[in-house]
Amino acid sequence: MTLEAPPIPARALPVSARSPGKCIVFGEHAVVHGAPELVFAIDLHTQVFARSSDTTRLNSDPNAVRRNPYLRTALERAWAGGPPLDLRAVSRIPRAAGLGSSAAFAAALAAAFGSARGGVDRAELAQRAFDIERDAQGVGSPGDTSTVVAGGYVAINGGAEVPLWTVRSADRVWEVRRVSDPGWVWVVAHSGIPRSTGDAVRAVGRRLEAADGAELLAEFAKVAREGIRAVAHGDRAGVAELLRRNQELLREVGVSHPRLEALLDAAAPAAEAAKLTGAGAGGSIVALPVPGQETELVRRLARAGGLPFVVRPSAGVELV
Ligand code: MEV
């Protein structure tokens, strides 16, 4: 895997782009309110293929333009005035699972459109992918979209490296930095419970308005800051302890779920630690396997009714 992030080059249609999904290790939800977050791009991908056509359609469906808010926003923001497109999308990332399927779709569309319009650099692509996801979702941070654009491990509002780029919304600026890869394998497992990122983000926002909200946010930030440092130094014991603390905070703000707790219990004997990943309230967990116990961990999660995947860091979105 190369972590150099060259610009997306210009290509004439047809163009095909492939984006990884993502796994949040520390700091989901709190990042929306400006706290640090650690995320890595996972080797489950969404691929988008675009060629000119007489009408715009997605996987043969012309109504998708109206029904799919990510596609509609991507066309409005990154393909305005362009010719109709026949689009195909295939994905190995489970949908509404907290593993970045919408960020990957937004980034692959933005990369394909950017390429067909003369090429685009990563900083601009990260902003475009975020704008598409945020317009479609109504709320959120650029953590997911910047990670799938950059590839590898990424810190939002934290880390020690020179920023790769900054991403802006109307009321906030986030800094995005590379974090070195400790070379670990992770296991994620989808609970099968679909959830809405927007609803979960709004519910946590309300929870953080309570009297102890500022204190909770400060605790989320501390865990993520220490977690970024521990991952960068390859400190597995430190990371395991911080994963447990992060999960307690996520429970406290109300985004765990009985099915997620059941998966965390099932993972425990074969994992150094585990937590929910993404928006929660359903979706997925991430576990750091006891070395050598990866297969046993996958077996335990599958037996408990989860859909497990062994994941490793992936390069960012690219043309294929
Ligand atoms: C969703 O993958 C992560 C959240 O922090 C929302 C966001 O950052 O946009 C819950």
Q: Above 70 in pLDDT, residue 2?
A: no
- Count H helices and E strands in the chain, helices first: 10, 12
pTM over 0.85, yes/no? yes
Q: Does the beta carbon of 276 sit less than 6 angstroms from any atom of ligand 1?
A: no
What number is the average pLDDT over the span 182-188?
98
Q: Does the beta carbon of 253 sit less than 6 angstroms from any atom of ligand 1?
A: no
Mean pLDDT of the chain: 97
Kind and range of the H or E element at 45? strand 37-52
β-strand partners of 309:
188
One-letter amino acid of 110: A
Question: How does residue 4 score in pLDDT terms, banded at 50, 70 and 90?
Answer: low
Structure tokens at 220: 């989320």
Reported as a single tens digit per residue, the pLDDT across 261-287 is 999 999 999 999 999 999 999 999 999
Closest Cα partner for 35 from 242, 247, 223?
Answer: 223
Q: Above 80 in pLDDT, residue 309?
A: yes
* Protein residue with its CA nearest to atom 8 in ligand 1: 141
Q: Above 60 in pLDDT, residue 174?
A: yes
* pLDDT (0 to 100) of residue 13: 98
Contact 125, 8 (CB under 8 A): yes
Structure tokens at 79: 């393909």
Q: Please, where in the chain does CATH 3.30.70.890 lie? A: 186-311
Q: Does the beta carbon of 151 sit less than 6 angstroms from any atom of ligand 1?
A: no
Mutational pocket test of ligand 1: of 23, 24, 172, 176, the residue with most ligand atoms within 8 Å of the beta carbon? 24
| Beta strand segments in the chain, E | 15-26, 37-52, 57-58, 85-91, 153-156, 165-168, 173-179, 186-190, 271-277, 284-289, 307-311, 318-319
β-strand partners of 198:
none
Q: Please, where in the chain does CATH 3.30.230.10 lie? A: 15-179
Structure tokens at 193: 């419970």
For the CA atoms of the chain, what is the radius of gyration? 19
Structure tokens at 258: 């009985």
Question: How does residue 3 score in pLDDT terms, banded at 50, 70 and 90?
Answer: low
Give 37 Cα–ligand 1 centroid separation in angstroms: 10
What number is the average pLDDT over the span 122-136?
97
Q: Does the beta carbon of 99 sit less than 6 angstroms from any atom of ligand 1?
A: no
Q: Is 186-311 assigned to CATH 3.30.70.890?
A: yes
Q: Above 70 in pLDDT, residue 212?
A: yes
Q: Above 60 in pLDDT, residue 192?
A: yes
Reported as a single tens digit per residue, the pLDDT across 63-87 is 999 999 999 999 999 999 999 999 9
What number is the average pLDDT over the span 12-25?
98
Q: Residue 280 class from Cβ within 10 Å (0-12 exposed, 13-18 middle, 19+ buried)?
A: buried
Q: Which residues contact 71 (CB under 8 A, 6 or more apart)?
A: 58, 64, 65, 87, 105, 109
| Beta strand segments in 102-218, E | 153-156, 165-168, 173-179, 186-190
Pick the CATH number of 15-179 from 3.30.230.10, 2.170.140.10, 3.30.365.10, 1.10.3720.10: 3.30.230.10
Q: Does the beta carbon of 36 sit less than 6 angstroms from any atom of ligand 1?
A: no
What number is the average pLDDT over the span 223-234?
98
Q: Which residues contact 73 (CB under 8 A, 6 or more apart)?
A: 131, 132, 135, 136
What number is the average pLDDT over the span 38-67?
97
β-strand partners of 276:
285
* pLDDT (0 to 100) of residue 195: 84
100-127 core/surface letters (b: 16 or more CB in 10 A; e: else): bbbbbbbbbbbbbbbbbeeebebbbbbb
* Protein residue with its CA nearest to atom 6 in ligand 1: 140
Q: Does the beta carbon of 134 sit less than 6 angstroms from any atom of ligand 1?
A: no
Structure tokens at 261: 């707790």
